[in-house]
Structures are given as C-alpha cells and as structure tokens.
Chain A
Amino acid sequence: MVRVAVVGLGKMGLSHLAMLNAHRDVEVAAVCDSSKFILQGLAKYTGLVAYSDYAAMLRAVPLDAVLIATPSAAHSAMVEAALDARLHVFCEKPFCLSPATAVALAARAADQSCVGQVGYHNRYVASFAEAKRLVDAGALGSVHHVLAEAYGPVVLKPKGSSWRTQRVEGGGCLYDYAAHPLNLVNWLFGEPQMASGVVLNPIYSSNSDDEVYATLHFERGVSAQISVNWSDPSVRKMTTRLTIWGSAGKLTVDRQELQLFIRDEVISPAGYRNGWSTLYTTELTAEVDFYLRGEEYSAQLWAWIAAINSRDLGGRNSFAAAAATDRTLDMLVRAAPAQPVAQHAGSPLLNRMRG
C-alpha cells in the first residue's frame, strides 16, 4: 500500500482524490485544504482524515507520498516540504513559477530517489502518445513546422477574482492553458532556443492574459506556432490540438483522433497507409481500472503509483520534464513586449519575471 495525502481540494484535487481513493494499492491517509466547508464535509461522509495545516499533517501522518493540487504559486514551497520529509510527489501543473526552483527541486527529488511527477495529463492521452511515437520513429520525415493550439470557454466576461485569473499567482491563460500545448511541444521537439512574436493579451481579465500567441524556434530550423485562447465560447470544453508538418507528411492530433497524411513516395509506418489514415481514441486508448474524467487522468496517477512501487525515476512527466516547460513558459513571459501599464500595473512578480 502506498500511503498518500491529497493537498488542495479544488476541482483537480477532488478528482485526483476520488481516483486515488479508488486505486487498490493506495491508502489515502489524509487530505488537506484551507476550506473547512469541504474538509469537514469529506471527513464526516467519507471518513477521510482531514487537516487544514499542511506542515502539521506532514509531521503527524506517516506517509509515502503527497499529491499537491493547490494554487500554482504554492507549489514550490509545498513540494520542498514534501521532499524534506522524503516523500514521493505528484504536483499539479504548472510545476513552479520560477524555472530555477523547478530545476533545483527536480535535482533534489532525483538525489533522494523520490518519484516526482507533474500533472501534464495530455502526455497520457493515447492519441498524443501515438503522435510522439510516430514523430520519434521518423514517420513524418524531417519535421519543419508545428502548430500547437488550445481553445476553451473559461473567461468569457470581465469578472472573477480567483487565483486562476491572476498571473502573479500562476493563473492566466499562459500558465493555465498554454502550458498544455507547450508541454506537448516540449515532449515531441524538446526546448525552443528562442521565442518571437509573443502576444500575451488580456481580453476580459484585468490581471492576466486571456490569449497567447507566439513563434518558437528550435534547433535545425524547426518552428512552432502557438495559438491559445481561453476566452473562446464556441468550444464546449478545452480543445488541444497539434498539427505537424514534415518532409514525409502531416499529422493532426487532438485527444479524440489522429489523422496522418503520408506522401505517396515514402513508406508509410506500420498500421498506416499512404494518403490519409485516421485513428480514433476508441482504438488507441487502453482501459483504466477507474474512470472519472478521461482515461488520461487515471493513467497518469496509476503510472505515478507504479513508478513509486518500482522506484522508476524516469517517467514521462518527471519534475525535470516539467522544469523544461517552466523554462519555456518563462521564455514567453520574457519575450513578450511590455503590456500597457493599466493592464498589468501592480504586479511585482510579473515585473520580476520579466527581469
């Protein structure tokens, strides 16, 4: 049994809690949140042991691991405290708002043989994993351009006071939404050398960006266009899509389907034909023991528990991998032209991040 505490019981934390609680090798030994309402409700009806003080919980409860799903600005200190206690850690994305901290924590986790994982669940979406496999196998020949998109209906009018709409707290479209396609681009193509044409614009928000556009430049002339907007009411829920052009063909992939076009003159990868092939999630997705919001959410947690049991430190969403995405996020913030003062005034952390 892996004894886990779940910290931060917002939307993500609560769903992680439900999934871990359904895992046959996991004992949820404690939960922790600042909201008494949710905490006491859970304690009363589910029998979970509840804490409102993270440090007190770490001292009092014998644990193997913690899952941290608090607002992003709190991640690094909480991960550090967990590593002090030599615990395995699953942390929600984005990992750390400071890339240097992310690197340091990744190194420390590795030194201590603690399994660190970050919740970039798209890497556990079967269609994206298949895209990664195809690109790595050279199915597209030499890749020259990528379009990475994400759209969703999160902020549709001027309002909101939660941390998600404060860039200094790790909210905003860049950290909350664009982090996902950027993390996929990192997975498939590594880290960019430079960002240009960066647009971090508010549409409705007063303290953060609602749309993110940028060009990323990689080694060997590979470029990626980033187009992300979380104020798009035309989509029902978050939609993340990659389109990849290479010398041998083109690939379009989202969480539901993968469409691959392979030129006639080249040999198509096994299972695909020349011209168009389409694979659907039904064919690609492996079943999970417990389903809540999508197979990928369960799959990433099951992978974390399996890695803990086998001391596998090289998972696909390791702290080190997430630190690469933190660096890319930071690169975009630094490359963005200064916003009109009225939109981002009074944001010391942002100013500091811009250097």
Chain B
Amino acid sequence: MVHHLDRLIFGDNQFFGVNHMSEEKARAGAIRFQETRAIMDVLDAALEEGLRSFMCTTHDRVADICAVVRANPSKYAQLQFYPCMPYAHKYANAVTEDGYLGALKRFLPDDGLLGTLFRGGKALATGQIEGLITLLVDMEMKMFAGLPTPVVFLQNVVVDLLLGLKFKHAFRIFADHVRAKYGAEPGFITMNLPMLLDQLAGQGVNNPIVCANMNMIGFRMSGGLEGYRAALATHRCRAIAMSVYASGAIPAVDALAWVAQQTNIEAVVFGASSRANIRNTIELMSVADKAHHEFGLAA
C-alpha cells in the first residue's frame, strides 16, 4: 500500500542547533531546546494544530522524544515518525578517531559478528556488505521500537556520497530492507535530485519518496531549478520539498505560493519553534493551495 504523505511534515533542525543561515540563531535554538520538555511542548503544539508526521534525524536526543511518546500512547496516537539516518556527525567523528573498522566496531553490536566479517582485514563478500548496511539501519532504528515509522529516510550526506561514488546498489539494499523489515517506504534525501532520480530508476527503486531543497531561488539545488523541474516531470516519484524558505531568504508567503504551483511537489517539510509559526505556516500553505486549485493563480 502506498503511504499517504501529509501536505506538511514537521522537521527537527530547529531543535538541535541546526541553522543554515546563522551560527548565532543555531546556538539560540540549542539553548532553548536543551530540555526535552521544551521540544515536546513545540511538538505537542504541532499535533494540536493538526500535523501528524515528524521527520527527524537519529540524533541521540530523538531517543528521549521517542521515550516520551512511548510512555503516552493515547496522547500521541496520531503521531508518526519519519526517521532520517544516520546522524552523520556521530559517524564522521568516529571514523576520524578510529578509522572505518574502528568506527563500525563502535556502532555495531558486540556479538562477534564483526570479527567474522573482517577476519584478517579481508574485503567483504557481496552478501556481507548487504548484511552490514542492514545492520547499520537496524541499529539506527532501535530508538523507534514500537512507534509508527511509515517512511524511513537515508540522509543526504550518505545518499549524495553513494551517488557520487556511483555505489548504486546500496540504494536498492536500503530500499528492500526498509520495506521488508519495517513495512516502511524508503525515502532518500539529496542535494542532487536529478542525478539521484536517474540512479534510482536504474536500480529499479520505483516511485521513490525523495526529499530535496526546492525553493524559488534555486538555493542548494544542484542541477538547477530547470533541471529539477525536468527531473520531476520525467521520473515517477513522490517529492517532499525542504528548505522552501531557502534558510530564510524567501518570505514564507512567497515561498509557499511557489510550492503550491509546483504540481510535482507532494509535501513540504518545515521547522518552527512556536505554535504561532506552525499555525501561520499551515494557514499560508492552505491558502496557497486553495488559490492554486481554484484559480490557478500565479504568484
């Protein structure tokens, strides 16, 4: 069954000190959301305003959010998670400190499996690399145990690394595993959407959920606005737009009016730190969609 994507998906960057525009704003966010309670207050507000889908990294602190949700099943009955893995800094720092094998040892279960895989520093056989990828996915998914995760995303830093290396088979391994083990749809976050759609098609990953920067100024859209338009028109896929405000460079009303006109954009992921901003975004999106559907208005 095809998972229904809500028009608006709530993101988590604002909770973890990520701001692509300003270090100062990033730090202010990190300070404000030090306590899980502060995150839950905003998440609760998002739910009350009608959002249901929370797209989040596998940051350690998301485990705390998951614990709160698990402990209050009736309150959060409507909430679903879209995990995005891996939280790359965790791995990058580990690789720098311990090398590839050391980093893997740190993140994989200590059950002798690694010893078998890497005995004598030998390369991995075909089946083993699949095992390794699926094992890493499972480790990242642990924090979501018992919670609905209808879509599972691979983060852009990994997707785009694999894309550049042309390690295309990894996309297929990820997609098959996420479908088989979690009954979820695979999602792919990228900064290079046209190139990704070509490679996914070649791997038989059909009608994939993809998430990429899509904004009216073409900010961080490698392949260009026209390239994105053409790719979305040619490939069957389900597109989620992120960074529609281009990190604050575009006023919300213009940004969402533009989104409403892009018939190939199915959903938008956005972050907000207050109920007022959440409500405002929901209203603007709904007004923009209505205007587009009823009048076909150009911005």
Contact = CB atoms under 8 A, between A and B. Distances in A.
A154 B93 contact: yes
Contacts of A154: 93, 96
A293 to B, nearest CB: 7
A236 B18 contact: yes
Nearest to A293: B157
Interface residues of B, number: 53
B164 A281 contact: no
Contacts of B139: none
Contacts of A15: 161, 164
Contacts of B22: 256-257, 280
A164 interface: yes
A47 to B, nearest CB: 8
A38 B89 contact: no
A133 interface: no
B93 A153 contact: yes
B20 A256 contact: yes
Interface stretch (A115-123, A220-228, A282-290): A282-290
B160 A18 contact: yes
B118 A37 contact: yes
B17 interface: yes
Contact of A282 (B96, B169, B249): B249
Interface in B167-222: 167, 169-170, 191-192, 195, 217-222
A37 B100 contact: yes
B4 interface: no
B217 A282 contact: yes
Scoring A15, A44, A290, A291 by chain B CB atoms within 10 A of each residue's CB, the highest score goes to: A291
A15 B92 CA distance: 11
Scoring A44, A154, A254, A295 by chain B CB atoms within 10 A of each residue's CB, the highest score goes to: A44
Contact of A41 (B20, B97, B129, B164): B129
A311 interface: no
A287 B126 contact: no
A163 B171 CA distance: 33
Contacts, number: 132
A11 B88 CA distance: 12
Given A237-B89, A280-B248, A292 B20 contact: no
Contacts of B26: 236
B247 interface: yes
Given A153-B93, A160-B97, A283-B249, A22 B163 contact: yes
Interface residues of A, number: 47
A22 B165 CA distance: 8
A11 B91 CA distance: 10
A35 B30 CA distance: 38
Given A15-B161, A46-B167, A254 B23 contact: yes
Interface string B238-282: 000000001111000000000000000000000000000000000
Contact of A18 (B17, B20, B21, B164): B164
Contacts of A19: 164
B96 A18 contact: no
A241 B218 CA distance: 27
A287 B191 CA distance: 11
A280 B97 contact: no
A17 B123 contact: no
Contacts of A21: 164-166
A291 B191 contact: yes
B92 A11 contact: yes
A159 interface: yes
A318 to B, nearest CB: 26
Interface string A31-72: 000011111111011110000000000000000000000000
B68 interface: no
A162 interface: yes
Contacts of A236: 16-18, 26, 30, 89
Given A10-B95, A282-B21, A38 B164 contact: no
B99 interface: yes
A239 interface: yes
A134 interface: no
Contacts of A241: 23
A19 B191 CA distance: 13
Scoring A19, A37, A40, A162 by chain B CB atoms within 10 A of each residue's CB, the highest score goes to: A37
A236 B29 CA distance: 12
Given A22-B164, A287-B221, 9 more contacts: A11-B96, A18-B164, A22-B163, A22-B195, A35-B100, A37-B100, A39-B123, A162-B99, A283-B249
29 contacts: A10-B95, A11-B92, A18-B165, A22-B195, A36-B121, A36-B122, A36-B123, A38-B100, A41-B123, A42-B167, A45-B167, A46-B165, A154-B93, A154-B96, A162-B98, A236-B16, A236-B30, A256-B21, A256-B23, A282-B217, A282-B246, A283-B249, A287-B221, A289-B222, A289-B223, A290-B164, A290-B195, A292-B161, A295-B220
Interface of A: 10-11, 14-15, 17-19, 21-22, 35-42, 44-47, 153-154, 159-160, 162, 164, 236-237, 239, 241, 254, 256-257, 280-283, 285, 287-293, 295
